[in-house]
Structure 1
Amino acid sequence: MMERVVGWLRRCNAPLSMVLVQVLVTGMMVLSKIVISRGMFIFALLSYRNTIGALFVAPFALFFERNKINLLGWRQLMWIFINAFLGQTIALALYYYGLRDTTPSYAADFLNMIPITTFALSLILRMERLEVSSKKGKVKILSAFICVGGAMVITLYKGKVLHINWPSFTHHVEANHKLAKDIRRHNIKRGTFFLVGSCLCYAFWFVSQVKLLKSFSAKYWPTTLTCAMASIQSFVIGIIIKRDTLTWSLRWDLQILVIFYTGILNTGVTFLLVQWVISQKGPTYPSMFNPLALIFTTIVESLFLRQDMTIGSVLGMFFIIGGLYGFLWGSKKNISTKNTDNLLLLHKNTNVVNNQVMSLPVVNPNPNFLNNAPSDVEEI
């Protein structure tokens, strides 16, 4: 009996790891929503969480890649600066502002839009060429339109409100009525604008990663240095916006928990788990679990934050999830690209990063991609 249990755990360790990653992402989104709604300055949150993330990953870089620091030069520092600015400072700030003005589940929908946005940008920049006549190409285009349609349904169509009552949690909900009321103060139009901007920034971020990872082919050092650089950038931008010292002071309450939670668990633990699963199952495997974060977040919202769903949000959610899976299926097949295998691997890695978009700044690439990147990339 024990041998069967051990065997089952060995077979299921990869999916269980990815479920854990989605649980961590869900916790991050809900907790971040709470502290931001309570008035925590977003750039202070970004600066502190990136500092904790850099300190957590740095020992791995020093232990496993102590010799690779010699590869760091002015060119690498430039791309680290750009990578941090696009992915961890601006994109994440826009996402947090969008989260502030909407709900965690609404914001989670846009995480699933990032692979589609990146794919569209890669076509515009001619980093990828799609054969419309092929089955895989048609599936990817159709899936992209389905995802965009789902986002439009969520934004433009509300429909009937679905009240979900959880009797066992009634006492908890009533105790947190004031918090739930504050969190439900939304500005959907402004929040959608921020979230769309975040998706676009992440798409450009993946382009900058091509340059960074080709010139600095390490796993832990780019993550450590990008977190450190993003911490400095967030601090400088935050000081320009708000110089009040009270804005940067931390209260020993949920704020401290969120900073360490996002810095250690979402940056460190998520990074290690996703990297391990990629090595075991391939780069598209983790992204198959992305919709779980959306489902978990919706459940947590209804349990603790008294958020009601609408018919429009449910329909849009199904459209986005269905479109994402169709897009991932098309991405697994060989499509016509310039240096297909390598660019497809980069595109798959952009799907993987959805598990980590709120977590870490760099995805470890396949070394073959870095050694054989197409010439088009050099001209970007």
Structure 2
Amino acid sequence: MARAEERRKLAGMTKFFQGERARVQLALLTVQLGYGVYYVLTKAAMTGGVNRFVFAVYRDCIALCLIAPMAYFFEKHLRTVMTIPTFLYICALGFTGIFLQQNLFLAGLSYTNTAFAAAMQNAIPVFTFIIAVVIKYEVIRFTKPDGIAKVIGMTTAVLGSFVMCLYRGPILLGEETVPMTDDGKSVNDMVEAHGWFASKMLDFGFDIWQIGALCLVGNCFCMGVYTNLQIPALRRYPAPISLAASSISVGALALVVTGMFSVAKASDWVLSTPGNIISVLYAGAIASGLNFTLQTWANQRGGPVLVAIYIPLQTVFSAFLGVMILNDPLFLGSVIGAILILTGLYLVIWGQRLHRQAKERECLAVPFTAAAEDIKEPLLKPSSDQRASSSYGTIPRK
């Protein structure tokens, strides 16, 4: 009996994971866990002295080696002729979504910690929605419940971003340490020596943590611009993997050119330790290659709302791994800001769901109303035999 019960349970679990919705959820869990590990490994590489331009170039080259063959073989029938407007869209995508976004994220991660950087990524859907409203891709009905939910959600998320940038508070977990480079210099010295933007911000009275927070806000904004730019770009070039590969190529080229002027020593391009090599390989193969494929597949089957709901899990995974492996500090301000951002995110998602349901009700109501007004005679006319039989009267019910 016990063995039969175990077999039934195993069969039930197997049947559950055979369902498409369960596979989508498992894929999204894998994606967020992959990002959590990516933040920890990248933070360790940055602390170990890897230049962020070098890290980004290697990551994009590895991702391009994985994505380019897929784009070439699977999207031959989708690619259109490359025109000047399409090329300009690809350049804009590569500059915002690859070059700026990665630079700002890696700078913000090196100046803060994994939990904070992952928590700030929850603001990406909100920034995306705000930009979509500004450029008229999304509509806010201010007098309807869905519009009120969207406005409150966006305001709450922006407030959470400001809290995370400007307030740290006491340490809840981990220990605060001053990151050091391989040369024994602190991040303050490194910023003043190599980062003109960071040096200017230090002159204005900002500390290292706030500079990193601003970089992460800029990273989220660039991702919002990148996501909205994809809409007109895909209309002109309806091959998503090919578009991503082209954008990565442009971004990687910009990173190489910038790195040639920013990287002081040629030896910085050599990854000397096994840990740094593993971090770069993981970033290119998993964070870019596998996660991009799984997220695209899940988006096609579950929709963007389901994908957005799983984004906060990367905060949990990265915070846990960062505290356990790197002993990163978890500040009260980060927790408060993350809660506000998550609340705003779910309010925006809820408002979008209410708006979609309202549009579906309106679409369902219009045909029936028009049919009642337009139909003047029955759609199925009686035959001649039926008309003849009806002249003898109706048959009484028994």
TM-score range, shorter chain: 0.7 to 0.9
Aligned to 2:60: 50
Find the counterpart in structure 2 of residue 368 from structure 1: none
CA contact (8 A) 2:57 2:256 kept: yes
Determine the structure 1 residue equivalent to 2:351: 330
What one-letter code is carried by the residue in structure 2 that aligns with 1:250?
A: L
SS of aligned partner of 1:132: coil
Name the aligned partner's letter for residue 188 of structure 1: W
1:91 paired residue number: 101
What's the CA shift for 1:335? Answer: 6.5
How far the C-alpha of 1:184 sits from its partner, in A, is 9.6
Name the CA distance, whole Å, in 1 between partners of 2:173 and 2:277: 33
Aligned partners of 1:137 and 1:335 also within 8 Å: no
Matching of residues 195-344 of structure 1 within 5 Å: 195-242=216-263, 244-334=265-355
1:162 is paired with a residue of what secondary structure? strand
1:30 matched to 2:40: yes
Deviations 1:237-294 (A, max 9, x none): 1112235311222224122212221111122211221222223222211111111000
Match of 1:151 among 137, 161, 181: 161
Cα pair 2:97 2:222 within 8 Å, conserved: yes
2:211 aligns to what? 190
| 18 and 84 in structure 1: CA distance in 2 versus 1, 3 angstrom threshold | same
Query: Which has more radius of gyration?
Result: 2
The two structures have a TM-score, normalised by structure 2, of 0.75
Matching residue's letter, 2:114: P
Contact 1:65–1:221 (CA<8 Å) still a contact in 2? Answer: yes
Partner residue of 1:139 out of 123, 126, 149: 149
Show the counterpart of 1:3: 11
Q: Secondary structure at the match of 1:112?
A: helix
Closer, same or farther: CA 261–164 of 1 in aligned 2, 3 Å: closer
Cα distance change, pair 225–321 in 1 and its aligned pair in 2 (3 A): same
Partner of 1:126, secondary structure, is: coil
**Per the alignment, in what secondary structure is the counterpart of residue 290 of structure 1?**
coil
Structure 1 counterpart SS, 2:76: coil
Write the deviation string for residues 90-130 of structure 1: whole angstroms up to 9, x where unpaired.
12111110111111111112211122222222333333331
Task: Give the aligned partner of residue 172 of structure 2.
Answer: 162
Question: 2: distance between equivalents of 1:47 and 1:142?
Answer: 39
- Distance in 2 between residues matched to 1:151 and 1:101, nearest whole Å: 16
Please name the residue that 2:369 is paired with. Answer: none
**Number of the residue aligned with 2:74:** 64
Give the one of 28, 37, 40 matched to 1:18: 28
Specify which of 132, 135, 150 is matched with residue 125 of structure 1. 135
How does the TM-score come out when normalised to structure 1?
Answer: 0.79
Aligned equivalents of 1:108, 1:272: Cα separation in 2: 20
Change (3 A) 1:220 1:300: same
8 A contact 2:80–2:238 mirrored in 1: no
Pairwise CA distance, 1:89: 0.4
Say which of 117, 126, 146 aligns to 1:116: 126
Is this contact kept in 1: 2:180–2:187, CA < 8 A? no
Deviation at 1:229, TM superposition (A): 1.9
- List structure 1 runs of 4+ shifted beyond 4 angstroms: 181-186
C-alpha distance in 1 between matches for 2:81 and 2:304 = 26
Counterparts of 2:264 and 2:173 in 1: how far apart (Å)?
42
User: Contact (CA 8 Å) 2:115, 2:330: kept in 1 or not?
Assistant: no
Distance in 1, Cα, partners of 2:255 & 2:187: 27
> 1:37·1:182 contact (CA, 8 Å) conserved in 2?
no
The one-letter code matched in structure 2 to 1:202 is M
Asked whether the 8 Å contact 1:146–1:320 carries over to 2, the reply is: yes
- Can you give the 5+ residue segments of structure 2 that lack an aligned partner in the other structure? 1-7, 189-206, 361-398
Per-residue deviation, 1:213: 1.1
- Distance of aligned partners of 1:227 and 1:4 in 2 relative to their CA distance in 1, 3 Å threshold: same
Q: Percent identity?
A: 24
| Aligned AA (2:295) | V
Counterpart residue type for residue 3 of structure 1: A
Q: CA deviation at 1:164?
A: 5.9
On the 8 A contact 2:140/2:150 being kept in 1, the answer is no
In the aligned structure 1, how far is the partner of 2:77 from the partner of 2:257? 31
C-alpha distance in structure 1 between counterparts of 2:285 and 2:317, whole Å = 21
For the aligned residue pairs, the C-alpha RMSD in angstroms reads 2.7
For residues 251 and 325 of structure 2, the distance between their equivalents in structure 1, rounded to whole angstroms, comes to: 32
Partner of 2:204: none
